[in-house]
Amino acid sequence: MATLTIRDALNQALREELIRDENVFIMGEEVAEYDGAYKVTRGLWKEFGDKRVVDAPITELGFAGLGVGAAMAGLRPVIEFMTWNFSILAADQIINHAAKMLYMSGGEFNIPIVFRGPNGSAFQVSSQHSQALEALYANFPGLKVVMPSNAADAKGLLKSAIRDDNPVIFMEQERMYGMKGEVPEDDDFTIPLGVADVKREGTDCTIVARSMTVPMALDAAEKIREQFDVSVEVVDPRTIKPLDIDTIANSVRKTNRLVIVEESHAFASVGAEISHQIMETAFDHLDAPVKRISTAETPMPYAKNLEAAALPSVDKIIAAVKEVCYL
């Protein structure tokens, strides 16, 4: 095991896959000579050169489309969006082309591509740079959606995403790039897509969290144990689509209570989907209504206090757990 930041774990995954498969290439804004806007691709251009690590013009729709065509013709592109906010410009290529190509070609052309970059809020970057878009992309059949929450998952899941034969939406979190964790050193270490992970075992209440809200949920779980002697289980789906609902339902069958924490807005969110699926699969096991913590239904404000008020927090999670546990 090595201790790595999420940034470096992602970098290792990219580097190992570039070495492993010569059809893998990275394209995006500032990924090469600048070493990546968030330094996820640091050193890769120097090591692999212009052919494998490519600085694209600021032309999101264009280079997303280029990636789709390259994947159709046999390459395995890793397309970086400087942030997922900019993917909205490229949505036609992701949604209308990448997601549908295999189906509308009757199984002839699959699209092995990874679209990756930071998703959600950062540090006071305001309305147009703070969106969590996983529910949007998870809505479309044909796409897989992955959201790691620690360094090991980031590396193992990214390697699986690059090896996957489908378009994968890989969502990182800018606030988490510097977070450190233990990462296996095996070159072939991967984590399968579609498998949830129980990040903390507990018996009294389940918290389902993803990406940035996982460390928050773990922090909240520890505080709840200290203050109320309540045992909280934290489940991280890791892959939003396909969703490992079995692991979540099994946890709910054990704890009988569910809190879902997410950085996206609440309306039609992934949390809403999980809540619905739990109603279908574990309705009789619930002792309290499912509770959701989401970002406030407003574009993200700039002011530090307003931004904090809009986002999920440890305190909000603790309050939600108390509510479903009738404390």
Calpha distance 206→305 (Å, rounded)? 29
Catalytic residue chosen out of the listed positions 16, 17, 97, 129: 129
Residue 58's CB is within 10 A of a number of other CB atoms, namely 11
To the nearest whole angstrom, how small is the minimum distance from the Cβ of residue 51 to another protein?
7
The three-point CA angle 83-99-107 to 5° equals 150
234 strand-pairing partners: 200, 207
| Residues in touch with another protein (CB under 8 A) | 23, 25, 51, 56-57, 59, 61-75, 77, 92-93, 96-97, 101-110, 112, 141-142, 144, 165-166
Q: Active-site residue 129, yes or no?
A: yes
Closest to another protein by CB, 242 or 299: 242
To the nearest whole angstrom, how small is the minimum distance from the Cβ of residue 99 to another protein?
9
Q: Active-site residue 285, yes or no?
A: no
Closest to another protein by CB, 52 or 129: 52
Catalytic residue chosen out of the listed positions 60, 80, 262, 263: 60
Q: Name the residue type at position 304.
A: K
Nearest 10 degrees: Cα torsion 88, 217, 316, 245: 60
Give the number of C-alpha atoms closer than 13 A to the C-alpha of residue 85, restricted to the C-beta side: 16
117 strand-pairing partners: 171
Would you give the distance in Å from CA 107 to the centre of its chain? 27
Closest to another protein by CB, 72 or 152: 72
To the nearest whole angstrom, how small is the minimum distance from the Cβ of residue 14 to another protein?
17
Closest to another protein by CB, 26 or 290: 26
To the nearest whole angstrom, how small is the minimum distance from the Cβ of residue 115 to another protein?
13
Give the catalytic positions in this structure: 60, 129
